[in-house]
Structure 1
Amino acid sequence: MRLRLINRSLLSSPISCCRRNFHHAFLRAKTTDPAIFENSLEKTLEEHRSANRQSLIRKVLVGPAPPTPEPSTVPSERLVEEPPKLKSTHQTSTRKRITATQKTPARHSGDRKSPAYRNIQWKTRGKPEQCPWLDHIGPKTCSGGISQLDGEIRALDKYMTPTTEESEVMRQIVSEVTEIMNKSVRGPLQITGSRRTGFQLSHSNLNLMLQVTDPARSPSSIRQPSAARLKNLRHYRKLLLTVTHALKQHPDYAVQIDQGSKPCSEAIHRPTGVHLHLNCGEELPAYVEYTQDFLAEYPSLRPLYITTRLILETQGLFGPARSSIDSVTLQILLAAFLKLNHGRFQRISASGSYAEPLLTFLRTFGSEVDLKTTGVAVDPPGFFDADSVKAATSTPAVAHAEHDSEDNILPAYIRGQRALITAKRNAAIQGNKALAARLCVQDPANYLRDLGGSCTRTVEVQTAFANAYARLKAALDAWVPSSPDDGNEHLRPSILSYVVRANFEDFEARRAKIVSRGTN
């Protein structure tokens, strides 16, 4: 048998042999020859692999950055907006230096600048507090404090309601916008928001929706694609860009398109100062039908809504822009309260009183219910928290179910309440106090949706309700009817002024501006 001689170079260390030359272009650390373990082949191979990896991987040295091209040779927008691919000290320092040396224009500059819309200023700031709603009560003397408060609530409702002239101006604006849009975009324009549901005030926004038909969501289809899919949103944004361009050609409109997740356009009608909100949709929002039904069932919903809204708005606690409760959420909250107390205020009619339900609402949501941990539902009406959800999901029917899943046994509203409470609990665990304490109002159209998501000032809203109740009670206890023989008709006492402390000059100026547009 012939013995073959083995080449010793094959038995040498992989590091000591000639390495691949194309790796010499990179920086590599000097490594010593790895040790050879005589009694362990596995350890020897692992040591060799580790040495090879150290010689192949490029190390990034922390130190002064190498020279970079001049900023003028590279577009500044790309340098600022493009996210870095590697989180290295070199790239971070370069980004900071270029950003500091070049001033990138703002994202909302030029045509994207927000329209000059100004909210109503209710604060007095040295101006006297006013009670213009008293002019709608009449000269008769009320027999008691409750009847006086009831008369003021009704008078405030009449005062804040748009007049016939104001409604006609709104109709003219809608016709004008429709005529402008029809030249570029074909589609019916629907009025949404408070001016459709019946909760409009003289300074309410004008919400318009361009109704767009989605052929992929046909009524005959069983499984319809989402209306909020990316393709649909791009189509909406394209339509709104066309609408925005058309409105910009008209001198009476200042327009801006919102490049958010849900595309919409904000516009200001310069002659009247009316704020327009335009969006696209396949059908009217679900809250429109719900709030219309609630208002038809409980006519007291509107005057109570106007009063509670003014209580919050005059204190800067109303609207999502102020991280507080919005109009739809407040309407649903009041509807849930009236449904929970159905039959309790039977005296409320054409000759009844609105004072008692207002006081009860302020006391309930001001001090009796902790809205930080308790949710409110309107369909069916009730309150829910972690304990009630746990009790509802621990019923014997659910516990002894063998074949059906828990989701098939629990009602849909219970599953929605469990999801909303779980979201609040997880936010508290993660330390997000604002999300954990936000107002929770279950959407009757979608049980998994929280209508109060924009309100993170829940404590302040409850405090405002509690203070309003205490002031109204004190004013009712100290109320003394004025005598017609006093001769002070301009100094009539007011109970509602204890909670609606505001100056209405700015509101009257906005109303006069709207009316003057109709007379021109």
Structure 2
Amino acid sequence: MRLSGIQSSRLFHIPRRFRTIQPPQDDDVFANSLRKTLEAHRASNRARLIRKTYPRAPSPGLFRPYIPPENRAGYQPPLPAPLSPPVISPELDLSGKASAKKRSRRRTPEPSTHSTDDRPERNAIRSVGDVGCGRLGETPWLSYLANAGAPGHASAYLDAEIQALHRYLAPSSSEENRASRLGEEVSSLLKSIVPHTPTLIGSRRTGLALAHSDLDFLLPFEDLPRSLERTRRPSPTRPQIRDAHLNLLRQVESTLQSAPEFKDQVRLSGKRSLVLEARHRPTGLLLQFYCGERVPAFTEYLQDYLVEYPSLRPLHATTRALLEARGLFGSSQAGISSDALSMLLVAFLKMNHGRFPGPHRLGDQLLAFLQLYGRDVDLRSVGVAVDPPSFFDAGTLRETDGVEESAYVRGQRSLIAAKRTAAARGNLPASRRLCVQDPTHYMNDLGRSCTRTPELQSVFATAHEQLRSACESWEGAPEEMSILTKALRAKFDGLERMREQILDCAGSQPS
């Protein structure tokens, strides 16, 4: 049968319905990118097979700094004691106990019993207690005043006090000789183990050490693939070299443990860098051993700064005593390290170059330093750069977008990005930690050990207010023979006992 023209045209215009098969929805497949697909599959496989565990005791070679309870995740300030006990339902009580137990298990592992963290120098300089009670501390540095009979103006007298405090805290010649002999004893003890003689580094080498400061030693380790003659050199922290450093420090640890002077006072720790700590029983001094190719460039930088700014030494000793009395000095207490404190001072001195001409200006410099880092700058979100001296944060770095960046700007971006990442992950202490850019390695943060930045700034602000008030009301009266003690409010009895121990040990040594 033949169809008419009209029927055939209608037949060919009938729309046909095709069945379309939708591809399966797979979030791990990217049609236009094989690399993204592989990365998504790897992440999915890792999520199924790998589970993060929290051991009860820290593993050997792992260092976890102490974080105060108020800086930990989930911390809630204690409520004032109520007049009547509150009514709590059993369900809420049990859930609260379970969540607290779970948080404590995940966040705070049990401390190791074999540790050298209970340091005598922690109690060398102590606070007298609550500032509001009005108690003042000891003033042993007044006997070191060169011109006590003519105090003069308040700022000049504060300058003399800072100089006197530095002379009091600095190691005497006998204490330096004992520390030198201790280094020789350790070198002789490790002669058959280490390939080269340990090299003194740190504050004892630069001249910023106090009488109770640690002795830092570098164990020179040759890394032939990183020869200066090669244009492309491997990373100094690659796994092969880190394992070699760990093996060497293990041998040093075993040797020191067998010596009666260090028995049960040796500990190997370190997360970013391996550190071996050993307490010398006769003197109470702490020795720290690191591995490296050569003396760090930071040591040379700091020595140059000390020559350029002679006021750096007394200012460093004064601010360290202030922070140590409040328990804010040292990475073991989540406080500021000696290197970070020295760079804060260097940045301040470089920013204020030529602002304090003439002699007897240490008091004015200390007041300006405390005001800058205590009130003018928020160190929780702002980083400090030394070379060139400046402050940087996300806002200032945003202004340089589209401009050819130098090496120090790229380092600042990396340091700020680390803080922002920590904040995005809910790690509040890491997001507020102190940020001080290393002038010798722009990607390195010297202040990363200090997570108690708000407390640090509070101490600086309080000390500035107390010193300024004391200078305004000071008239040189005999009963007010100290301005500095109204801000320090410290006791030095622990330091005196430790110095007596060092001198007694020095006297018992054969000449």
Alignment of 1:110-189 (within 5 A): 112-114=114-116, 117-121=119-123, 122-124=126-128, 129-138=137-146, 139-189=148-198
Q: 1:473 corresponds to which residue?
A: 468
Q: Normalised by the size of structure 2, how large is the TM-score?
A: 0.73
Is 1:115–1:266's contact at 8 Å kept on the other side of the alignment? no
Structure 1 position 356, deviation (Å): 0.8
Is 2:384–2:390's contact at 8 Å kept on the other side of the alignment? yes
Is 1:366–1:463's contact at 8 Å kept on the other side of the alignment? yes
User: Is 1:513 matched up with 2:508?
Assistant: no
Q: 2:336 corresponds to which residue?
A: 325
Shift in alpha-carbon separation, 1:470–1:113, aligned structure 2, 3 A? closer
Q: 2:275 corresponds to which residue?
A: 264
| Alpha-carbon distance in 1 for matches of 2:117, 2:447 | 27
| Alpha-carbon distance in 1 for matches of 2:348, 2:128 | 32
| Alpha-carbon distance in 1 for matches of 2:460, 2:117 | 33
| Alpha-carbon distance in 1 for matches of 2:327, 2:269 | 27
Is 1:273–1:513's contact at 8 Å kept on the other side of the alignment? yes
Shift in alpha-carbon separation, 1:108–1:312, aligned structure 2, 3 A? closer
Q: Which sits farther off after the overlay, 323-332 or 217-226?
A: 217-226
Task: Find 1:495's aligned residue among 464, 483, 488.
Answer: 483
Q: SS where residue 127 of structure 2 aligns? A: coil
Q: 2:427 corresponds to which residue?
A: 432
Structure 1 position 445, deviation (Å): 1.2
Q: SS where residue 454 of structure 1 aligns? A: coil
Shift in alpha-carbon separation, 1:264–1:319, aligned structure 2, 3 A? closer
Q: Give per-residue Cα distances to partners, 1:120-175, cap 9 Å, x unaligned.
A: 32133699721000001144121121111111000001000000000000010000
Shift in alpha-carbon separation, 1:241–1:221, aligned structure 2, 3 A? same
Q: 2:209 corresponds to which residue?
A: 200
Residues matched between the structures, number = 397
For 1:369, the aligned partner's letter is: V
| Alpha-carbon distance in 2 for matches of 1:473, 1:299 | 23
Structure 1 position 247, deviation (Å): 1.9
Alignment of 1:333-412 (within 5 A): 333-347=344-358, 351-394=359-402, 398=403, 409-412=404-407
For 1:153, the aligned partner's letter is: I
In structure 1, the gaps of 5 or more residues are 1-39, 44-76, 82-105, 399-408, 484-490
Is 1:128–1:503's contact at 8 Å kept on the other side of the alignment? no
Is 2:367–2:464's contact at 8 Å kept on the other side of the alignment? yes
Is 1:141–1:482's contact at 8 Å kept on the other side of the alignment? no
Structure 1 position 467, deviation (Å): 0.8
| Alpha-carbon distance in 1 for matches of 2:492, 2:115 | 29
Shift in alpha-carbon separation, 1:456–1:116, aligned structure 2, 3 A? closer
Q: Give per-residue Cα distances to partners, 1:371-393, cap 9 Å, x unaligned.
A: 12211111001111222111122
Shift in alpha-carbon separation, 1:145–1:116, aligned structure 2, 3 A? closer
Q: Give per-residue Cα distances to partners, 1:402-459, cap 9 Å, x unaligned.
A: xxxxxxx211111111222222223333332222221111111111222111111111
| Alpha-carbon distance in 2 for matches of 1:156, 1:170 | 21
Is 1:237–1:264's contact at 8 Å kept on the other side of the alignment? no
In structure 2, the gaps of 5 or more residues are 1-18, 23-54, 60-109
Q: 1:482 corresponds to which residue?
A: 477
For 1:360, the aligned partner's letter is: A
Alignment of 1:49-88 (within 5 A): none
Structure 1 position 358, deviation (Å): 0.6
| Alpha-carbon distance in 1 for matches of 2:410, 2:195 | 41
Q: Which sits farther off after the overlay, 287-296 or 385-394?
A: 385-394
| Alpha-carbon distance in 2 for matches of 1:245, 1:293 | 37
Task: Find 1:242's aligned residue among 248, 251, 255.
Answer: 251
Task: Find 2:315's aligned residue among 299, 304, 314.
Answer: 304
For 1:177, the aligned partner's letter is: V
| Alpha-carbon distance in 2 for matches of 1:179, 1:430 | 49
Shift in alpha-carbon separation, 1:341–1:260, aligned structure 2, 3 A? closer
Is 2:199–2:217's contact at 8 Å kept on the other side of the alignment? yes
Q: 1:454 corresponds to which residue?
A: 449
Q: SS where residue 289 of structure 2 aligns? A: strand
Is 1:116–1:268's contact at 8 Å kept on the other side of the alignment? no
Alignment of 1:412-431 (within 5 A): 412-431=407-426
Is 1:323–1:455's contact at 8 Å kept on the other side of the alignment? yes
Q: SS where residue 256 of structure 2 aligns? A: helix
Q: Give per-residue Cα distances to partners, 1:171-207, cap 9 Å, x unaligned.
A: 1000000001013333121001100111000010011
Is 1:241–1:257's contact at 8 Å kept on the other side of the alignment? no
Q: Which has the higher contact order (CA 8 A, sep 6+)?
A: 2
Q: SS where residue 453 of structure 1 aligns? A: coil
Query: Greater Rg, structure 1 or structure 2?
Result: 1
RMSD: 2.5
Q: Give per-residue Cα distances to partners, 1:4-60, cap 9 Å, x unaligned.
A: xxxxxxxxxxxxxxxxxxxxxxxxxxxxxxxxxxxx9x99xxxxxxxxxxxxxxxxx
| Alpha-carbon distance in 2 for matches of 1:307, 1:140 | 23
| Alpha-carbon distance in 2 for matches of 1:493, 1:247 | 47
Is 1:115–1:268's contact at 8 Å kept on the other side of the alignment? no
| Alpha-carbon distance in 2 for matches of 1:477, 1:128 | 18
Q: Give per-residue Cα distances to partners, 1:72-125, cap 9 Å, x unaligned.
A: xxxxx9xxx9xxxxxxxxxxxxxxxxxxxxxxxx9956xx55476333321336
Percent of residue pairs bearing the same amino acid type: 39
| Alpha-carbon distance in 1 for matches of 2:365, 2:111 | 48
Q: SS where residue 149 of structure 1 aligns? A: helix
| Alpha-carbon distance in 1 for matches of 2:115, 2:443 | 35
Alignment of 1:208-247 (within 5 A): 208-247=217-256
| Alpha-carbon distance in 2 for matches of 1:207, 1:477 | 42
For 2:165, the aligned partner's letter is: L
For 2:287, the aligned partner's letter is: L
Q: SS where residue 193 of structure 2 aligns? A: coil
Q: Give per-residue Cα distances to partners, 1:232-274, cap 9 Å, x unaligned.
A: 1121121122222222232112342415443332111111000
